[in-house]
Amino acid sequence: MNLDDFLSWFNSTGVNTENVNVSYSITSGFGLYSRRELIEKDFLILSLPEHLFIKPSFNTNDLTGFEHLIIYLLEEKTNPYIKFLRSIQCIPQWRYYPNDKYPQQLIDKMKKHLNKYNQSRNKILQYNDDEFQWAYYSINTRCVHFNMENDSKDQDDNLCLIPYLDFVNHSIEPNTISKFNSLTRSYEIYSIKTIDFNEQITFLYNPHSNVDLFIEYGFILSLNPYNQFNIEYNLEQFLSNEQIQIIKSYNYWNLLEFYSGDNDLSWTIIKAIELNINQSQWSPYDDPSSKDKYQLKNKMKEFLNLIQQNIEKDFQEWITDHFIVEKNILYKDFLTTLHDTSIVIDKSIITTYIYFYQFITSQIK
């Protein structure tokens, strides 16, 4: 089914699409664009009624809502929306190139992603790999959070597919916001700034880093303020096994990320590096002494040097014919995050003690 066939069906549902039109570009794929001369701020652009939503059936208790939707997509043969999805490329490109020697930051996230994928695959064996993969990623790249009013708090149970809404692409500077209106029982898109004629309609999927965008959706952004760098792998090289177990025993083996921009270091990172300085006098709760603060700053710099060496090694070994642009952007992202972190360390090594004190005490309780 081509785009015209799908739109012909969708327009027959009675949904008012006079404000927008669907178009395709090589750079961003299918997208939704304004057809009004000017859309003012706080304007209702589109309203999609609940009867069009594709929701999990929950007719089998051992499957998540996500997995129910997988089966629905594979079994449904007449729904025009599903027919259209079958013609769209939705599988992240890295899945086609498993032999690329990816950087550790990508490998760690890829493993988690594939673990979840395989859990569902092992439950649903009656379809071939290509069919299952298409269905899985059609949902993974297009589903919307929707409270199914059940007892489950699992996000994989509280989601649905909404035809036409999924033409809206992601942006870190979105011009709309979408939300479910419980009074009209519709998913609505409102402008949050003025939108010009033929300007693309966008919203923020989530504050995803480029690593997450690459793995979950198959694209990255040249400028992304939500980038982060997980340091768990590097800490495993920097700390002894005994020190790692101490950190984990206090439930400090979390919040182990550096962030781009002027973001304070988390208390868990500070205490992990401090443990490497003076294990015999280390306290999980107390602010380091003045002497230890000076040593801590130097130890942090040493740790950053280790991370940079790992990054350089990873990207030298990542020889790829498929992700040249992505490789260059990610390399820049990682080094920028380290640079920003170095500046934060220079400003103040213990700026987050008060901010994280409640978090720390709550974890111990």
Q: What is the predicted pLDDT for the residue at 57?
A: 86
Q: Mean pLDDT over all residues of the chain?
A: 91
Strand bridging mode 38-39 / 200-203: unpaired
* Separation of first and last alpha carbons in the chain: 57
CATH homologous superfamily of domain 3-207? set domain protein methyltransferase, domain 1 (3.90.1410.10)
Q: What is the predicted pLDDT for the residue at 1?
A: 52
Instruction: Please say whether the beta carbons of 160 and 146 come within 8 A.
Output: yes
Q: What is the predicted pLDDT for the residue at 352?
A: 44
Q: What is the predicted pLDDT for the residue at 355?
A: 45
Q: How far apart are CA 351 and CA 266, in angstroms?
A: 9
Overall pTM > 0.75: yes
Domain residue ranges in the chain: 3-207, 228-363
Q: pLDDT digit of tens for each residue in the chain (365 aa)?
A: 578 889 999 999 999 999 999 998 888 889 999 999 999 999 999 999 999 999 998 877 789 999 999 999 999 989 999 999 999 889 999 999 999 999 999 999 999 999 999 999 999 999 999 999 999 999 999 999 998 887 777 888 899 999 999 999 999 999 999 999 999 999 999 999 999 999 999 998 889 999 999 999 999 999 999 999 999 999 999 999 999 999 999 999 988 999 999 888 999 999 999 999 888 889 898 887 777 788 899 999 999 999 999 999 999 999 999 999 999 999 999 999 999 999 999 886 544 444 444 454 555 55
Q: How far apart are CA 349 and CA 346, in angstroms?
A: 7
Q: Is the dihedral of CA 235, 239, 240, 246 positive or negative?
A: negative
What six digits make up the tokens of 144? Answer: 């919307």
Instruction: Please say whether the beta carbons of 157 and 148 come within 8 A.
Output: yes
Maximum distance among all Cα pairs of the chain, rounded to whole angstroms: 73
Q: What is the predicted pLDDT for the residue at 234?
A: 97
